[in-house]
Amino acid sequence: MNQTIDTTTAGGSDPRPAGRAASEPRRWRLADYPSLLTVPAILLLIAAMAYPLLTIVLRSFSEPEWSLQNYVWFFSTPVNLTVLARTFSISAWVTIVCVIAAYPYAYLMTTVGPRMRLVLIMCVLVPFWVSGVVRTLAWVILLQDSGVINSTLKAIGFSSIRLIRTQTGVVIGMAQVLLPFMILPLYSVMRGIDLRLVQAARSLGARPALAFLQVYLPLSLPGVFAGAIIVFILSLGFYITPALLGGPRSTMLSTLVQSQVLSLLNWGRGGTMGVVLLVSTFVLLAVAAPLMRQRHKQASRS
């Protein structure tokens, strides 16, 4: 009976005394705090976005002195208000053009086979690999008075159309650049829609157009709203395309900001324009978001 059995070791538990194991602190592990993984991204956003934005806001109030004179100047100058309204108008037209052009393309991507779908996706992604300046210069060649479009119109017996240095040319160029940002959200929503729902509606007597409008279209509205918001917000800050394709009557607010900051070195007024555009965008989205959700719910119920 001189043999002793080490029950602690045999049971597979910690061979150390119970008191010592309980008093020893637990080792720190990153897996126990997954929220810490977001710290690098948060620091990057603060350094690249929050700090510059805060600097611009402070300069709009502090240059040349602490006051509201920059905002008084902005809202008392008719040219600034006209350009601000034109900026939102052009952005709205670009969004409408992108919705009209992207919806059938995204729908086609959900109906074709895998190989053809890959080709269509590549056609969407290829523009991302080309510089925006290069694409805009290509539109300059196409839209100019002696360009490909007007030459083709003259060849078939039509008169030429002035497209360069107009709002129409700016909308065409911006829509081509932003079209992938509308197609991808639409496709991501459309691919999750069961096409058998449309077939069921048709089997119950609905015409193809009516089945599409009452069944498929309401289900795809989240993609339309998401893409429209992305395109609209990106359109507000465009500079290169309006500068190359537009003229004096198609000037957007980004051009005025550039002239105030780089040409006149007036950071206060330039910052004021940026703040007004940012606040106006937030207000517009705050008003439009509930309306979009309400219309989506009504369409889904119907």
Residue length of the chain? 302
Higher pLDDT, residue 33 or 12? 33
Q: Is residue 88 part of a domain?
A: yes
- Chain-wide mean pLDDT for the chain? 85
What tens digit of pLDDT does each residue of 227-239 get? 999 999 999 989 8
pLDDT at residue 277 above 60? yes
Residue 47 lies in a domain: no
Mean pLDDT of 201-209: 87
Give yes or no for residue 5 having a pLDDT over 60: no
For residues 215 and 226, give the distance between their C-alpha atoms in angstroms, rounded to a whole number.
Answer: 19
Residue 129 has pLDDT above 70, yes or no: yes
Q: Is residue 192 part of a domain?
A: yes
Confidence of residue 15 (pLDDT cuts 50, 70, 90): low
Query: What type of residue is 138?
Result: A
Q: Give the pLDDT of residue 235.
A: 94
Residue 12 in any domain: the answer is no
In percent, the amount of the chain with pLDDT more than 70 equals: 87
Q: How far apart are alpha carbons 235 and 154 in whole angstroms?
A: 32
- CATH no. for residue 212? 1.10.3720.10
7 has a pLDDT exceeding 50? no
Cα angle value 261/267/272 (rounded, 5°): 105
pLDDT at 295: 60
Q: Are the beta carbons of 126 and 134 closer than 8 angstroms?
A: no
Q: What is the pTM of this model?
A: 0.82
Q: Name the residue type at position 188.
A: S
Confirm whether 290 is domain-assigned. yes
| Measured distance CA(286)–CA(2) in Å, rounded | 82
Question: Nearest-CA neighbor of 269 among 101, 70, 90?
Answer: 70
Q: Given a cut of 90, is residue 132 above it in pLDDT?
A: no
Averaged over 46-65, what is the pLDDT? 89
The predicted pLDDT at position 249 comes to 85
Kindly write down the DSSP assignment for every residue of 259-281, as one continuous string.
Answer: IIIIIS--HHHHHHHHHHHHHHH
pLDDT at 23: 55
Mean pLDDT across 225-253: 90
Whether 63 maps to a domain, the answer reads no
Residue 127: band (very low, low, confident or very high) from pLDDT cuts 50, 70, 90: confident
Query: What does the pLDDT read at residue 25?
Result: 63
Q: Does 132 map to a domain?
A: yes
Calculate mean pLDDT across residues 264-293: 86
65 SS3 class: coil
How many domains is the chain built from? 1
- Whether 115 maps to a domain, the answer reads yes
pLDDT at residue 222 tops 60: yes
Q: If we measure between CA atoms, which residue out of 229, 237, 234, 272 comes closest to residue 254?
A: 237
- Residue 202 in this model has a pLDDT that exceeds 90: no
Q: Which residues of 145-166 are buried (b: 16+ CB within 10 A; e: fewer)?
A: eebebbeeeeeeeeeeeebbbb
Predicted local distance difference test score (pLDDT) of residue 92: 95
**Cα R_g (the chain), whole angstroms:** 29
Question: What domain range is 149 assigned to?
Answer: 71-301
pLDDT of 10 strictly over 50: no
Task: Give the pLDDT score at 172.
Answer: 94
